[in-house]
Amino acid sequence: MTLSKIFNDFQTEVKVSSPGRINLIGEHTDYNNGFVMPTAIDKKIFFEFKRNVSTDNCRIYSKTFDSYFEFSLAEISKQKDSWKNYLLGVIEEIQKMDKKLGGFDCIVKSELPIGAGISSSAALECGFAGGLNKLFTLNLSKQEIVELSQRAENNFVGSNCGIMDQFASVMSKKDHIILLDCRNLETEFIPADFKDCKLLLLNTNVSHSLADSEYNTRRAECEGAVKKIKQKYAEVSSLREVSFEMLEEFKDQLTEKTYQRCLYVLNENERVQKASEAMKNGELKKFGELMYQSHKGLQHHYEVSCPELDFMVDFSEDKDFIYGSRMMGGGFGGCTINLIEANKIDDYVKEISKAYAEKFNINMDVISVSPSEGTVIE
């Protein structure tokens, strides 16, 4: 059967829209069992599924990349194209759970920019898992979809991510922000009342090669400190259980770099909790100040920013109509997230676009986002 015959005559059985996510504050805290404040956004990846007559042959076509591949459920192996591995990892994790899949065809179309730090990977994983769950009546809960999608990224793709991205992609509620405790997944949905402001993402359009390796390095640095502190304090299993007093006690036993990493995480957890109170109280200026503090911590203590991100944040600081700005995501590129008065967006975008292009000879992209519903399956 030809490719055009398979996908032009497609009788859809299951439709899925799976959103990207933003994180207002709380970066690199999820894998340290800390606090984060994410939400899904109104930019999504769309899937269409149908079963095929094959017993175990799977055929997937990406409209976005105009790319096709097929594989047998009995033979899952890594592909060169990274987007394929997020899907294959989901298949592998579902099969590890002794859930019965069959042959299927799938069309994928994305409106999420790659490398922007809005977690297209989690949207791919969670939307794909949710669609297969319905297509084959696997009876997986939302929580199980979140967790297997995270495992797919950890085990198959090889990125040692925390649970925030997948959780936000699946669990978010429209017009709300999640205060998520990554230690026990305790969740509070806070109304996203930004008054006269909107959330604006400015994409640097750079993705430095350090991003993946340094992400795993940061996690290893934090876990190394925990291991050392645990020798005296048995109750410590992550930086979440480490107090400022404990950290100071072990300062001389840690490298200066590792100490700074840990100090950032402890401070960021405090910032997230303060930010949640500020949001509930409608104190947007205070919320914005915490965003700026978060960026400085990421820049100087956690060292995951880059000149392009720093330029964007610095450029915003003297503008009284911008309440807060910070880098978002793993770092070394991607977007800044900005809390900005809505009626000033157009003029500001023109101003910063010109300045950014003059400084780096790169054109930035602008993405206006709103808090949205998590994965929707029809």
Helix count and strand count (H, E) for the chain: 11, 14
Q: What's the confidence (pLDDT) of residue 81?
A: 79
DSSP 189-254: EEE---TTEEEEEEEEEEE-THHHHHHHHHHHHHHHHHHHHHTT-TT-SSGGG--HHHHHHTGGGS
- Please state the φ and ψ torsions of residue 255, each to the nearest 5 degrees: -65, 155
Q: What's the confidence (pLDDT) of residue 30?
A: 93
**Which residues have C-beta within 8 Å of that of residue 14, sequence separation ≥ 6?**
47, 48, 49, 50, 131, 134, 135, 377, 378
Task: Tell me if residue 165 is catalytic.
Answer: yes
Query: What is residue 5's three-state secondary structure?
Result: helix
Evaluate whether 7 touches 107 at the Cβ level (below 8 Å). yes
Catalytic residue among 165, 196, 212, 318: 165
Q: What's the confidence (pLDDT) of residue 9?
A: 77
Q: What's the confidence (pLDDT) of residue 210?
A: 62
Which residues of the chain have a pLDDT value below 70? 1-5, 115, 208-211
Evaluate whether 120 touches 110 at the Cβ level (below 8 Å). yes
Ramachandran assignment for 28, one of left (phi > 0), alpha (psi -120 to 50 degrees), beta (any other): left
Q: What's the confidence (pLDDT) of residue 5?
A: 66
Q: What's the confidence (pLDDT) of residue 4?
A: 65
Evaluate whether 239 touches 265 at the Cβ level (below 8 Å). yes
Name all domains of the chain by residue range, CATH numbers in brackets: 3-192 (3.30.230.10), 197-369 (3.30.70.890)
Q: What's the confidence (pLDDT) of residue 65?
A: 86
Q: What's the confidence (pLDDT) of residue 208?
A: 65
pTM value? Answer: 0.92
